[in-house]
Structure 1
Amino acid sequence: MASFPAILQSEWTKIRSVRSTIWTLALTFVVTLGLGALLSFLTNNNFEEFGGNDGSPFDATGTAFSGIILGELAIIVFGVLAVGNEYSTGMIRVTLAAVPQRGTLLAGKAVVLGALSLAVALATAFITFFLSQALLGDHSTDLTQPHVLRAVFGAALYLTMLCLFSAGVTAMLHNQTLALGVLVPFFFLLSPILSAVPKVKTLAHYFPDYAGSRMLLVFEQDGQPYGPWAGFAICLAWTVAALLGGALVLKKRDA
């Protein structure tokens, strides 16, 4: 019976020894930072065009995180690969032989993935914010302004929960290709399409990506169904449900 610290050490070793998982995690940082910095630079140089002239306040924080949609894709892939690689190689049988407590095993995976993704997400969020504000010049904001610090932490927590949600879905499906085939269309096709259809857009407002995006809001927006804290609760509920579902399937189904 493996101890929990030993499980954590094993899971950390698995992640760092597979190059594809490290690259996708690094890509989360690069694309979020790069696109956010680029759009901040363009906004500063074309403020009258990009800054908004509809009377609503300019959201310098939202501009900084304009690239987070690509960061979402990268961290979803990271969460899928971190769990799915064992199924694709057949190493999950060896893992389960060494750690027969399946719920404990998935908990260990979740702890390591959560800690690693949170560390990278925090670095991504804060570095992206500071660099983008520097590029926004006179149109920038800072962490002392109302709700800005909360939005920066919200961006980091959102990316972390997306990673864990993806890991939970992969544990349920036992297949990384199938998991990507479900998650990518769900986040980047189904959710945006349903959000644009009047009769069903209310349902789409409770999907994890929409709920998570509320966590980045600095200013209240007319017509929004809920605010940042409700968005956090909804996104967290999806994440917990996916992990619990993964644990249940892992216990009931053979590797």
Structure 2
Amino acid sequence: MRLLRAELSKLVSLPSVWTAFAVGLLVPSVIAYLNASSMRGRNAQAAGLDVGFEELGFGVIAAIILGVVAVSSEYATEGEESAGGRQITASLTAAPSRGGFLLAKIGAVALAAAVMSAVATAATLGAVAFALADAAPPMGEEVPRMLGVVVYWVLTALLASAITLLTRNGIVPLAVLILNTSVVSVTFLLSKVTPLASYLPDMAGARMITSRIHSSVEMPPVVGGLVMAAWVAALLAVGAAVFLRRDA
């Protein structure tokens, strides 16, 4: 618990983490409100089936930022002397073991992502309900997908952390993951070439939050979540193995 509290404290002290929270809260809720407002006067119950949830799928960028900076900040340098300026040196000195430190880091990322996604989900669906008024889908019916959003964001944050463990630098994971999420989805394009791409983590995990997945592969939300979780577990295992073996 001491290590977990220390890792949570480090996350709170990072400006980029607060930026991620702001992005995760504001971007999906504002866009969802605008989209829902444009549906007034139409069959919003049908047209707005995924409104809010699609925006939350885009807002997962915040979880990516969180997962990357939680790890890359340990390797950030201050000044010109890289070895003396890295946080990882102090972190491993204070921790009783590398394994304990890594577990605390993963736990902190998961907790922070869960809180972030829960707040973002409440704000986004609240904005949709306000915009659509009586035409909004009953909130009680959306509970499974709301939980799916939380799971999707947490797994995405852990996936980003696992990749950053391997690279020890945040630039590549941020660029690749954000580009794939917001600009050009490489995995979606691959799914048009081979159905196997539907089992990649982001494509599978998205089944938990939206019904509009254009793919030849049928996959229930629970199965999609399990596929994504398996990817995350495998990458975390590889990242942990590399982290425990190489020099800080």
Q: TM-score range by the shorter chain?
A: 0.7 to 0.9
Structure 1 position 139, deviation (Å): 3.0
1:156 to 2:144 alignment = no
Structure 1 position 68, deviation (Å): 2.2
Alpha-carbon distance in structure 2 between the residues aligned to 1:113 and 1:222: 31
1:238 to 2:231 alignment = yes
> Given the superposition, is the C-alpha separation of residues 182 and 100 from structure 1 closer, same or farther in structure 2, using an over 3 Å criterion?
farther
Structure 1 position 217, deviation (Å): 3.9
Residues 90-140 of structure 1: per-residue CA shift (max 9 Å, x gap)? 211221222252121111011111111101211211231132023123431
Structure 1 position 72, deviation (Å): 1.6
Structure 1 position 162, deviation (Å): 0.6
Partner of 1:20: 16
Map 1:200-211 → 2, pairs under 5 A: 200=194, 202-211=195-204
Calculate the TM-score normalised by the size of structure 2: 0.86
Partner of 1:79: 67
Give 1:144's aligned amino acid. G
Partner of 1:54: none
Map 1:1-255 → 2, pairs under 5 A: 5-45=1-41, 47=42, 58=46, 60-89=48-77, 90-99=86-95, 101-145=97-141, 148-187=142-181, 188-195=184-191, 197=192, 199-200=193-194, 202-217=195-210, 223-255=216-248
Residues 168-216 of structure 1: per-residue CA shift (max 9 Å, x gap)? 1111211111222443345443212213x3x32x122111211121101
Structure 1 position 250, deviation (Å): 0.5
Partner of 2:82: none
Identity %: 26
Residues 11-66 of structure 1: per-residue CA shift (max 9 Å, x gap)? 11211111112211221111111111111111225x36xx6xxxxx8263511223
Q: Is the 8 A contact 2:24 2:59 kept in 1?
A: yes
Structure 1 unaligned regions, length at least 5: 52-56
Alpha-carbon distance in structure 2 between the residues aligned to 1:61 and 1:133: 12
Calculate the TM-score normalised by the size of structure 1: 0.84
Root mean square deviation of aligned Cα: 2.4
Structure 2 unaligned regions, length at least 5: 78-85
Give 1:226's aligned amino acid. M
> Given the superposition, is the C-alpha separation of residues 248 and 204 from structure 1 closer, same or farther in structure 2, using an over 3 Å criterion?
same
Greater mean deviation of Cα atoms: 64-73 or 16-25:
64-73
> Given the superposition, is the C-alpha separation of residues 31 and 238 from structure 1 closer, same or farther in structure 2, using an over 3 Å criterion?
same
Q: Is the 8 A contact 1:44 1:137 kept in 2?
A: no
Q: 1:191 is paired with a residue of what secondary structure?
A: helix
Q: Is the 8 A contact 1:88 1:176 kept in 2?
A: no
Q: Is the 8 A contact 1:35 1:66 kept in 2?
A: no
